[in-house]
Amino acid sequence: MPDSHYDFVIIGSGFGGAVSGLRLCEKGYRVLMVEKGRRFGPADFPKSNWNLRDWLWMPDLNFRGIFKMTFLPHITVFSGVGVGGGSLVYANTLPVPKAAFFNSGSWAGLADWQAELAAHYATARRMLGATRFPGTTPGDVVLNEIAKDLGREEHFEPTDVAVYFGEAGVAVADPFFGGEGPERTGCTSCGGCMTGCRFGAKNTLDKNYLWLAEKRGLTIVAETEVSAVRVRKEGGYTVEAATSTGWTGRQPRTWTADNVVFAGGVLGTVDLLLRLKDDPEGLPKLSRRTGEFIRTNSESLIGVTTERRETDYSTGVAITSILHTDEHSHVEPVRYAKGSGFFRLLMAPHSAGSNAAVRLARLFTTMIRSPLALARMYFVPDWAKYTQILLYMRTLEGTLSFRMARTPLTGFRKGLTSALADAKAPEAFIPEATDIAERFAKKIGGTPASLMSETLLGIPSTAHILGGACIGATADDGVIDPQHRVHNYPGLYVCDGSAISANPGVNPSLSITAMAERAMSFIPPRST
């Protein structure tokens, strides 16, 4: 027997799910949200990313943190887990994409997207508390110097971020929603945004959309993962799930619903949809485009570790400035809080090259020429304090496909894997990104480094995995229609990064939020 029946069941509590939960509750619907991760309060977040149990999501090891790393054949993906989804671990940055985003990809021409989304972007900025970063960090100073060197100083600016600044460390009554939201504390500039804000300054979804939705009747079931959505003969859908309680077993759960919103992020939604498409008792009429048009922001992540000890690069919020290097590319300085040096274990000297032989030759050359610099990079006393990560992104397209396959990493069970698409795939090495990292390193006396998976295997990394359930006019063109309704399945919706149908070229959280706001605007109030 089902646990209960709902008007809507939402799978996932990230940006798309949180928007859906609030707007549906406001319209009078009975709504359940299912989230596989934990609930976190400020004191529950780890002080550093060395606390793997509370930072990493690896449930087979009973690590139930907010940060998940997924290693696939053609991409390494960083994503978030927990009540609040990616907002718990993301870098707070809220840019609006340029015009090209709205006029390319599978959704091009299906609506005047830039015009229709403008009001929803404004709502998303207000709800997420977008604020211009008020200070300047050492990394900003160096990046601005590079902007001057490149003749692009006028294209350098502070970021708009989802943070309450106020008075550092001082708690105040809700400053965003007329007192209806939770108490907030002014940002302390500790740099710990991506390990979870321990002070209540970061505008995570549990402090806006989800907070308000729960006050309006939203039910959230955490630590529970959905495994199936099936059509009911009586109408609507059955949602099957199981609770996850570490090593003590999984308890089955079942609900019924008139409607279901898939909002588990690309790794959750696309994985589930592919499984259901392959299941004759699942959703076999899903579009053949399911899992296609997987894209990133074509980004490059390069850490620069300085040999000098007079400057602290960990202060500020996660991302504090942005330099637009041309009309389709930009770079941002990224940081972790002092003591968060886990990534040093995964780094290797940045050695760009089109194939493994070239990269290894350059790597060995670097090791021979600068052995002391490399030693200081690996054994730096505080990696986060003396390392500035440079995040380079561009709007140029590169796509993959996701599919289900039997792999040794999943015990020969079917698991999610990547495959090359007809279009150009994302690249691990971008010459302009390498040039900027080398310029930055020269100015601070540092050494550039990338993930070993990039240097040794040429596999790019992304914190912005998008697509796989894209918008299309018909089921031959996409998985969902322009109102985010799943083709061939009335009552099913996709509202998360899976629905992003072109490369925004910027941090996508604001766009996911705005698109979900628009999708929910088409659903009428519940009839009494």
Q: Which residues participate in catalysis according to the annotation?
A: 464
Q: Which residues contact 490 (CB under 8 A, 6 or more apart)?
A: none
| Residues paired with 333 in a beta bridge | 390
Q: Which two tokens stand for residue 397?
A: 């397209």
Helical residues (DSSP H) of 257-355, grouped into ranges: 265-278
Between the CA of residue 421 and those of 101, 399, 424, what are the distances in Å?
20, 6, 7
Amino acid at 309: R
Helix axes 431-444, 138-149, angle to 10 degrees: 120
In the chain, what are the helix, strand and coil shares in percent, each to the nearest 5? Answer: 30, 25, 45
CA distance 195 to 45: 7
Q: What count of residues does the chain have? A: 528
Distance CA 335, CA 322 (A): 13
Which is nearest to 14 in space by CA: 71, 70, 68?
A: 68
Q: What is the C-alpha separation between 128 and 121, in angstroms, rounded?
A: 10
Residues sharing a CB contact under 8 Å with residue 217, sequence separation 6 or more, in sequence order: 25, 30, 31
| Rounded Cα distance, 298 and 423, in Å | 13
β-bridge partners, 422? none
